[in-house]
Amino acid sequence: MQNLLDFDAQGLAAWFAEQGEKPFRARQVLRWMHRAGEADFETMTDLAKSLREKLRVSAEVCSPAIISDRLSEDGTRKFLFDVGAGNAIEAVFIPEDDRGTLCISTQAGCALECAFCSTGKQGFNRNLRVAEIIGQLWQANRVLGAGMRMGAESERIISNVVLMGMGEPLANFDNVLLALRLMLDDNAYGLSRRRVTVSTVGLVPAIDRLREECPVALAVSLHAPSDALRDQLLPINRKYPLAELMAACQRYLEKAPRDFITFEYIMIEGINDSDAHARELLDLTSNVPCKFNLIPFNPFPGSPFRRSQPERVRCFAEVLIRAGIVTTTRKTRGDDIDAACGQLAGQVSNRMRRLPSQSIQFQEVNA
């Protein structure tokens, strides 16, 4: 049984051709699945009855089932999805006055083991399939009532998608690429490249590949201004150090839909939050048009870190702003349901390919 959610438009057209069907049938089904959120072939009324019968016995529209749906006091909504074999992933919907953002996952767990992230502490099981990635958006649209009745589009409740949930998106490049193409396809979700953001810890070759194959908005999890500190917080930095990462960011801007890179920076008390760190960041990024998104650290069980104090975050931001860098501080959303940045953990079993644990000792820097 072929899950049609695993195909982008090109793949779906190829599959329909193998079934002896014309390409326009693939476009019809694509619209029914993604724009209308329909899984029942019998309701796809503009398809020939013979085709509906063929699809009923050979294909399915199957997304991850929702295990739980939790609502925060601030309106943030966290979905837990079953992806089989004891694994579960999380996605978060964040409503705001001018947008609705869905944060989705790309892996069951994560192998990169960043020191400040609860997902990394869970270990890694596997990459998500296309149907499991796009299925989070498909399910959220249905639950939030954001589908389209054929012929008349409803209000777009999910206006932005960020690949910032569990896992490193660029470590699951092929499946993420197909999911991105569906998000951008006018016959599917029709999002603009500016409204789809991929977040990465800095897999340099994959950043270059994304630039060539599907340049969307790029956010880089930076979190440290020097290789010495970043090696400890993000072990992947030992493979792709900051000089290589900054060069990749410069190359990406040649084709990016935005004229800047967003650098995400977790604010951890006494670790990376001094004014001296901020000045180092200015030196590091001097040749990369960018904006900074400062993220107060969100605690999770077993973490040795503490969140930077609000005044320390404000002073840090001031150093960047005075230098002319657009700097925002992310409002913590959904932390009462463990839906805030860095808190997504889901459920990961059969753990494998986890980086060896490092004994990390940090020297505090007084602000």
Instruction: Report the CATH architecture of 2-60.
Output: Orthogonal Bundle (1.10)
For residue 154, the model assigns a pLDDT of 52
| Closest C-alpha to 267, from 230, 231, 295 | 295
**Do 2-60 and 65-337 come out as alike in CATH topology?**
no
For residue 157, the model assigns a pLDDT of 92
For residue 147, the model assigns a pLDDT of 54
State yes or no: is 341 an active-site residue.
yes
Q: Which of 90, 113, 132, 264 is the catalytic position?
A: 90
**Distance of CA 239 to CAs 149, 281, 303, Å?**
48, 20, 25
Q: What is the pLDDT along the chain (367 residues), one digit of tens a residue?
A: 999 999 999 999 999 999 999 999 999 999 999 999 999 999 999 999 999 999 999 999 999 999 999 998 888 999 999 999 999 999 999 999 899 999 999 999 999 989 888 877 778 999 999 999 999 999 999 999 865 444 444 567 999 999 999 999 999 999 999 999 999 999 999 999 999 999 999 999 999 999 999 999 999 999 999 999 999 999 999 999 999 999 999 999 999 999 999 999 999 999 999 999 999 999 999 999 999 999 999 888 888 999 999 999 999 999 999 999 999 998 765 555 454 454 455 565 545 544 433 333 433 333 3
**Distance of CA 208 to CAs 119, 170, 257, 282, Å?**
25, 11, 15, 24
Domain boundaries, the chain: 2-60, 65-337
CA torsion sign, 95 to 101 to 106 to 112? negative
Strands (E), 143-273: 160-163, 196-200, 217-221, 261-267
Beta pairing, strands 290-296 & 88-95: unpaired
State yes or no: is 110 an active-site residue.
no
Helix (H) or strand (E) holding 126: strand 124-127
For residue 336, the model assigns a pLDDT of 58
The crossing angle, in degrees rounded to 10, of helices 173-184 and 204-213 is 30
- Just give the CATH number of 65-337: 3.20.20.70
Question: What DSSP letter does each residue of 181-201 carry, written as one string?
Answer: HHHH-TTTT---GGGEEEEES
Contact 19, 123 (CB under 8 A): no
For residue 300, the model assigns a pLDDT of 83
